[in-house]
Structure 1
Amino acid sequence: MSPSKGVPLVVALADDLSGAAEVAALLRLPALLALRPAQPPRDGEAVVVDLDSRHLPSAAAAEAVRAALAGHPGETTWYKKSDSLLRGNVGAEAVAFAEGARAVVTAMALPALGRVVRDGVVHVEGVPLHDSGAWRAEERAAPRSVAEALAPLPTAGVPLDAVRQGPRALAGRLAAVAARGRHPVCDAETDVDLDVIAEAVRQLGSAYRLLGSGGLAAALGRHVGTGTPAQDVPAAYGPLPTADGPLSAADRPLLVVAGSAEPGVVAQIARLTAAGARHLPLAPDAVAGPAPVPLPPLAPGSVTVLSIDGTGSIRPGAARRLVAGLARTVAALTGTPDLVLTGGETARRVLDAVRITALRPVGEIHHGAVHCRTADGRSVVTRPGSFGGPDSLHRIAAALRPRLLPPPPAARPALPAPAGPAGPRASSQGVTQ
């Protein structure tokens, strides 16, 4: 499926920034990651649009999808990223995404994180989603099936044995479901299952669209990818290379903004601080106020971590106000530091505050930690808040500042020298929620 001049090979939509960045890396194509209407893509680029719709009212989220569809007409492969735990405006966005398509084919499995779909139900480490604790922070009950999450989109289940008959037979099954006016929801347990689904949809052509988790995005990338931009370069080997040299200027400050409330982030900050970074925990009441929190200047070549001080109690429902306050505080700093942003909401609010409207992914530093460049040459790393082990932030910072921070011991595998731009492709295990 080759695009005509000026038409992207793939257009992907996501409801938050960390998910959009991960998809852009998983597609294994040169990509424009657009936060809002920006410069048009270059010929041959994929376009990944952050709709920033996870927390919008459902009607507004659907309109964001429609606007993105209208903005990229032409023969192209369409992919819609959805949270593998079915959070957000899944149904409203799916209905809008289906408009103008023969069918939307859904596959929500994310095998790398132990999330599979059996009989149309998402299972998390063997437990049905609605019986797991995955929705403990949500204000409503988890859907009992993928079809329930997609409602009111009319769907029909495609069982695992049909998927495992291979791409050609599956394509016929998907077309038959579409002929009945319904949209297929596929069971899948492995990356091979997702590869079959992606290939079957590509055989059917651009009238069929894909909707799923990062696992399905990775499968699509294995079919359409060229290996650019995502070289799988371990953080132990320093900054990811590009044609014009290292990703980061040695004298530019590096600012880590840890806006996620995930408990594991505390351990990650402690590990990075022990390696030599400066930590600035901010009082929640100060951050939630109308003015930015005054901060000391960021020294050239320094690594600073900004977070919310969690030693006291944080009022329920304050998360979005705190993220907005962090963004105001970052925007008030002088200079243009490189940025590491944890959590999709934090990443989007900070980039909006500093007026960055587009990114171009370079690769993944580790599972879910996507390294991008801005138009003025800054590095931006985004990562979902729940991703990464205790050394995650240390690994990211060491990749960006190898002369300043040594990599953690666990990130020193005995592998050959880092690959250049024509090196190996990104790991298929780098997937998002």
Structure 2
Amino acid sequence: MAARLLVVADDLTGGLDTGVQFARQGASVRVVIDTARDSDWTRAQAQVIVAVTHSRHMPPGEAYDAVYAAVSAGRDAGIRHFYKKTDSALRGNIGAELAAALRASGAKSLAFLPAYPAMRRVTAGGIHLIDGVPVAQSVFGRDPFDPVRESDVARLISSQTDMPVSTGMTAGCGIRVLDAQTDDDLIRAGHALDEADALTVTAGCAGFAGTLPHLLGLECAARPSVPGLGEGLLVVCGSMNPITLAQLKHAERYGFRRAHVAPGRPAAPPTDARWLMLDACGFDAEAHGLAMGEARRRVAERLAAVYGELSADGGRTALITGGDTLRACMDRIGCTQLEPFAELFPGVVLAKAFTARGERLVISKSGGFGKETLLQDLRMVIEGKQTEE
């Protein structure tokens, strides 16, 4: 099976929440966890390949090179359509990576639609808004690892590239930023781009990705079914996002057990809890003399080590939040590719992880996604008291 679309994502959770937009409409999807280590990734047997470059926290020049290499490899493999997946809150190397995707694709222009209306993230007048607040003034402007300093999308892109940047559905070369405040806006933009033969390379998050299966003929009558989700939930939280922290606190009030797991804290968490949350909140990187990047890596590795121990019995389904932590956990079990097949709630993805010992189910989400009640809602799904959205 030859791939027809390559999605290039800067982090693993984002690759999954975008890949599932195609899977839920019947397309076959494979998420390649690390293109730098998987030399045969372009041969993945799927209509849609999601290549994860892990470039969100790289210097802009390195991020550019990683994306350029991925798109170039896709072209060499015969893929003709490309989607540069970006963070829905505009974190990361947005300008550098869009420029790399456009240049490597060989197209003249790239339409960028960063809106995700289902998650209350919209673009109006070129300004990106989170819950009605300019993104730089939202919680993402205070992100401890990658704060967003600019809400004007074109200006943010131009800070990392000298490629022409414009707003609106105008002809010409370079990067075009398009507004969208509703799903219908995204659909209309997609049809306009299709009519203009401008779908060779596009960019955005899971929001606009949801319009592409129909436009690119990737739909299928068969839809994947959701299997049973085990007998409990093991939450592995590597995110420090306030949205996720509120979810942990809410779940704790409703009977989840919570264990703090961090580098230098050898105490083992409880193993008999059916509903268990692991997190590294309270870990003080500065007190340990660690830079933020090194602290992020150590936290992810520590959480992954405990995940490997507690997930071996297969009794609980794991929910892993945070791209770095998800990557470390998959490395721990020897997984190099994932197959997303269901979206339990917006941005909350159920996937198969392929390992030498067989398949296992994994739920993932970005740290900035989900209602405060999310973990309790998932518990109700597992107990059969609520159906997924």
Q: TM-score range by the shorter chain?
A: 0.7 to 0.9
Deviation at 1:35, TM superposition (A): 0.3
Q: How does 1:220-259 map to 2 (within 5 A)?
A: 220-223=212-215, 224-226=217-219, 241=226, 246-248=227-229, 254-259=233-238
Deviations 1:324-360 (A, max 9, x none): 3212333355725442101222212221232211111
Q: CA contact under 8 A between 1:147 and 1:155: conserved in structure 2?
A: no
Deviation at 1:275, TM superposition (A): 5.6
TM-score by length of 2: 0.80
| From 109, 118, 127, the counterpart of 1:112 | 118
Deviations 1:386-410 (A, max 9, x none): 22223212333443x43xxx64xxx
- Judged with a 3 Å threshold, the aligned counterparts in structure 2 of structure 1 residues 128 and 307 are, in CA distance, closer, same or farther, namely closer
Deviation at 1:364, TM superposition (A): 0.9
Q: Distance in 1 between matches of 2:252 and 2:138?
A: 34
Partner of 2:100: 96
Partner of 1:35: 33
- Judged with a 3 Å threshold, the aligned counterparts in structure 2 of structure 1 residues 298 and 203 are, in CA distance, closer, same or farther, namely farther
Amino acid at match of 1:35: I
- Judged with a 3 Å threshold, the aligned counterparts in structure 2 of structure 1 residues 266 and 136 are, in CA distance, closer, same or farther, namely closer
- Judged with a 3 Å threshold, the aligned counterparts in structure 2 of structure 1 residues 350 and 124 are, in CA distance, closer, same or farther, namely same
Amino acid at match of 2:278: L
Residue 139 of structure 2 corresponds to residue 136 of structure 1: no
Partner of 1:87: 91
Partner of 1:56: 58
Q: Distance in 1 between matches of 2:81 and 2:52?
A: 17
Deviation at 1:216, TM superposition (A): 1.2
- Judged with a 3 Å threshold, the aligned counterparts in structure 2 of structure 1 residues 128 and 306 are, in CA distance, closer, same or farther, namely closer
Q: How does 1:27-426 map to 2 (within 5 A)?
A: 27=22, 28=25, 29-36=27-34, 37=38, 40-42=43-45, 45-73=47-75, 74-99=78-103, 100-132=106-138, 134-137=140-143, 142-151=149-158, 152-159=161-168, 173=170, 176-178=171-173, 182-205=174-197, 208-223=200-215, 224-226=217-219, 241=226, 246-248=227-229, 254-273=233-252, 277-282=256-261, 287-289=262-264, 293=266, 295=268, 298=271, 302-310=274-282, 315=286, 317=292, 318-332=295-309, 335=312, 337=314, 338-375=317-354, 376-399=358-381, 401-402=382-383, 407=385, 411=386
- Judged with a 3 Å threshold, the aligned counterparts in structure 2 of structure 1 residues 26 and 295 are, in CA distance, closer, same or farther, namely same
Amino acid at match of 1:363: A
Q: CA contact under 8 A between 2:135 and 2:148: conserved in structure 1?
A: no
Partner of 1:9: 4
Deviations 1:242-297 (A, max 9, x none): xxxx34466xx753202222344345335545665543223xxxx223xx845368
Q: CA contact under 8 A between 1:82 and 1:90: conserved in structure 2?
A: yes
Amino acid at match of 2:268: L
Q: CA contact under 8 A between 1:156 and 1:177: conserved in structure 2?
A: no
- Judged with a 3 Å threshold, the aligned counterparts in structure 2 of structure 1 residues 264 and 147 are, in CA distance, closer, same or farther, namely closer
Q: Distance in 2 between matches of 1:278 and 1:78?
A: 43
Q: CA contact under 8 A between 2:166 and 2:176: conserved in structure 1?
A: yes
SS of equivalent residue, structure 1 residue 134: helix
- Judged with a 3 Å threshold, the aligned counterparts in structure 2 of structure 1 residues 143 and 309 are, in CA distance, closer, same or farther, namely closer
- Judged with a 3 Å threshold, the aligned counterparts in structure 2 of structure 1 residues 30 and 388 are, in CA distance, closer, same or farther, namely same
- Judged with a 3 Å threshold, the aligned counterparts in structure 2 of structure 1 residues 187 and 386 are, in CA distance, closer, same or farther, namely closer
Amino acid at match of 1:304: L
Deviations 1:189-211 (A, max 9, x none): 22222112222333444773101
Larger Rg: 1
Amino acid at match of 2:11: D
Q: Does 320-329 or 121-130 show the bigger shift?
A: 121-130
Q: CA contact under 8 A between 2:320 and 2:365: conserved in structure 1?
A: yes
Unaligned runs of 5+ in 2: none
Deviation at 1:368, TM superposition (A): 1.0
- Judged with a 3 Å threshold, the aligned counterparts in structure 2 of structure 1 residues 196 and 371 are, in CA distance, closer, same or farther, namely same
Deviation at 1:62, TM superposition (A): 1.5
Q: Distance in 2 between matches of 1:227 and 1:256?
A: 33
Deviation at 1:314, TM superposition (A): 6.3
Unaligned runs of 5+ in 1: 1-5, 163-172, 232-239, 413-417, 419-426, 428-433
Percent identity over paired residues: 27
CA RMSD of aligned residues (A): 3.2
Deviations 1:134-153 (A, max 9, x none): 31225666125222222315
